[in-house]
Structure 1
Amino acid sequence: MIDFQKNSVFKLSPARTESVAPEVAPLIIPGEQIVFCFKTVRDFVVFTTKRLIAVNVQGMTGKKKDFTTLPYSKIQAFSIETAGTFDLDAELDLWFSGLGNVRLEFRGGADVRQIAHLIAMQAL
């Protein structure tokens, strides 16, 4: 899902927490809470109070999944681009220490300012 060599971009739409929480529940540590969830057709991204969890659903059946955890403490910089009148997509760029850049593109309906606020509260 996240290709650190190619700066992969994938379009995410807001999702209900209940639809993805069971998948990431085994990864959640005490005191950590899910804040935002976004999905593509099969893949999804979860923003918690401590990290970003990207889940790549693989194969025809979707039983195989790749979980990538990106802790906010490793973020060196980030930027957002909000949606406009004609360009309804918003973007979030994150630069991680030792990993490089990760870009997430959100379809209309996602308030990237709220995501930026969460990241700022945890990373700064």
Structure 2
Amino acid sequence: MGIMNKMVNGLSGNLNEVSPESLQQEYGAYFMEGETVYTGFQLIRDVVIFTNKRIVTFDKQGTTGKKMRVSSIYLSAVIHVSAETAGFGMDDSQVDIEYIDSPYYKASGGVSVAKRTFEFPKKYNIQPLYQYLQQIAYNNHESLNQ
């Protein structure tokens, strides 16, 4: 993808796919032992990486981008996934995840849930990512409701 297409996608809020090798090289110091990259995306300077253990976001801040906020959504907390495919015109694809953001998943007083949306360019096939996350959500749902 050319630099102009990356910029247009970035300005419109779309994530561009980055190779797992590049992500491992640049962000590997932030990974846990045994953590491997499934896929990852970049939005201008910000990055989201889907691994075998979590979804990691890197929010580069400031003029130089040296300051960075790193946050995680553990895959064990993902409880619902939905997807919207691109249509005609300027429509983009998106994947929405809902996850438990309270520390105790089986709390007797209930748990709190958060939602996060990831937008992708029209040309990106979101089906493999959706299937990956959906299988995780299903397994978590089964485990939590035993």
TM-score bracket for this pair, using the shorter chain length: 0.7 to 0.9
Q: For residues 109 and 49 of structure 1, do their structure 2 counterparts lie closer, same or farther at Cα, with a shift above 3 Å needed?
A: farther
Give the counterpart letter for 1:26 in structure 2.
A
Instruction: Give the 5 Å matches for 1:6-25.
Output: 10-25=13-28
CA distance in 2, matches of 1:35, 1:23: 15
Note the C-alpha offset of 1:49: 1.3
TM-score, normalised to structure 1, is 0.82
CA deviation map 1:53-108 (0-9, x unaligned): 11101010111111111111111211001122324410111111135111111113
- Answer yes or no: is the 8 Å Cα contact 2:41–2:49 preserved in 1: yes
| Of 64, 67, 74, the match for 1:64 | 67
> How many residues in Structure 1 have an aligned counterpart in Structure 2?
116
Q: 4+ runs of 1 displaced by more than 3 Å?
A: none
Gaps (5+ residues) in structure 2? Answer: 1-11, 102-112, 139-146
Identify the structure with the greater strand proportion. Answer: 1
The equivalent residue for 1:79 is 82
Give the counterpart letter for 1:117 in structure 2.
Q
Give the counterpart letter for 2:82 in structure 1.
S
CA distance in 1, matches of 2:35, 2:100: 22
Instruction: Give the 5 Å matches for 1:1-124.
Output: 10-98=13-101, 99-124=113-138
SS of corresponding position for 2:124: coil
Q: Considering Cα pairs closer than 8 Å and 6+ residues apart, tell me whether 1 or 2 has the greater RCO.
A: 1
Compute the RMSD of aligned alpha carbons.
Answer: 1.9
Structure 1 stretch displaced more, 59-68 or 23-32: 23-32
CA distance in 2, matches of 1:109, 1:29: 32
Quick check: which has more Rg, 1 or 2?
Answer: 2
The equivalent residue for 2:9 is none
CA distance in 2, matches of 1:73, 1:43: 24
Q: Equivalent pairs: percent with the same residue?
A: 27
